[in-house]
Structure 1
């Protein structure tokens, strides 16, 4: 029997302490993901939580700083695996594929932060591994994407003032264009939870 797993990627406090979080497209990402988690549990799907770490960097993703933890309000059940990664995709530096094989999973539902980075990269790798992938754009979040020539220490104001900066809406649209029909099926929160998004 085939099984579905919900993969929750990097919905962690690390992002919320960065200045660019002020410009995130879905500040309520934890609530959006929680809707998916509850629906997955009700269906008996596996829920796997992924956290991103960058040990030794001293930054927001360095575990020693205490931000590599789920955003408040999200709580894994004791039976739900929590894995940590150091690569953009959730497979390369973890035992994710082994976990999925053990549980007979053939379909993945992807949610998390950031839409075009860890979520998209995980989706592409999962598709190449042969999984059917559902990408829930509404349950992913991202921030304005600066041009690659922008200095790494640019302020949010500088990033937003640069006409080359891509808005979260444009980034999200490009991700959907790249993934749909090739690497994933795009689905809405309503479709997967059966509950309308509160307006």
Structure 2
């Protein structure tokens, strides 16, 4: 297996925040599920990552019950790791890199919540670690920050990652390339 899909922070914690009302794509589970089905159909590793802040008494505190995958998401299958991170990227506070190395993975598809934060940070670090990175833009989402709309943030993220840290792709492009509809 040379490819893995990393699903980052697509979790109920975000829906439990008032900011969810301003999220660019509240149906983020739909494109993520298409990617998961595509990855499974191609024999790729699927890795689920959840952000946690133990003891914080926020929606990211596992003790409050929101640190779980969105209810609409496909459920992890046996052999698909579910990692818990406490940093902005999926590598630093997990054993993700060890798992990928042991599985012979060289290419990562990334998707998830907070386009410009955890998904972008994971993409940059993955690139620095030598992985071929594919940032699946329509399977990420975020909310407005300050004067920037969510759409502007996503556009900016694509611009800074494109051809430097990652290839930018859509779910439909990946489905077409891999010969699977994902439906």
Structure-2-length-normalised TM-score: 0.95
The equivalent of 2:67 in structure 1 is: 68
Aligned to 1:177: 159
Q: Which has the larger radius of gyration?
A: 1
Answer whether contact 2:136 2:168 (CA < 8 A) is retained. Answer: yes
Equivalences for residues 1-199 of structure 1 within 5 A:
3-74=2-73, 75-146=75-146, 165-194=147-176
Distance 2:100 2:182 in 1: 29
How far the C-alpha of 1:175 sits from its partner, in A, is 0.2
4+ residue runs over 3 A deviation: 194-198
Distance 1:197 1:142, change over 3 A: farther
What do residues 147-168 of structure 1 show as CA deviations (whole Å, max 9, x unaligned)? xxxxxxxxxxxxxxxxxx2100
RMSD: 1.5
SS in structure 2 at match of 1:101 = helix
Report how many aligned residue pairs link the two structures. Answer: 179
* Alpha-carbon separation, structure 2, partners of 1:169 and 1:37: 24
> Aligned with 1:54: secondary structure?
coil
Deviations 1:33-92 (A, max 9, x none): 000000000000000000000001100100000000000022100110000000000000
Superposition deviation, residue 196 in structure 1? 7.8
Paired residues of 1:85 and 1:94 also in contact (CA < 8 A): yes
TM-score, normalized by length of structure 1?
Answer: 0.87
Q: Deviations over 1:121-173 (max 9, x none)?
A: 00000000000000001000100112xxxxxxxxxxxxxxxxxx210000000
